[in-house]
Amino acid sequence: MLPLQLIDSFLLNYNVGQALLLGFILTTLAALPLKSQKILGINTVLFGVIFMLTPQSLAKPHYLFLGLALLVVGPLVYVTARD
């Protein structure tokens, strides 16, 4: 387990939007070996909602538009998945 000072010193250089984007990329990469479009669609929608609900004072406004795009793309990925 990493000490909290190491994590804190790493995150001080970035804003909340960048940390959320890193989380989205890591969870998407973690879901790829499962080969499930439904999981990718749910992950995309979930992070779209998180980006939309992040206050403007913590993240730059372009992350709001990223959340909106993820909310459009996520359901499309989920619906086009095969059973």
5 within some domain: no
pLDDT digit string (tens) for the chain, length 83 residues: 778 888 788 778 888 899 899 999 999 999 999 999 999 999 999 999 999 999 988 888 899 999 999 999 999 999 999 86
Q: 67 lies in which domain range? A: 15-80
In this structure, are residues 69 and 21 in contact, taking their beta carbons and an 8 Å threshold?
no
3 within some domain: no
pTM of the predicted model, to two decimals? 0.84
35 within some domain: yes
Q: What is the Cα–Cα distance from 21 to 19, expressed in whole angstroms?
A: 5
46 within some domain: yes
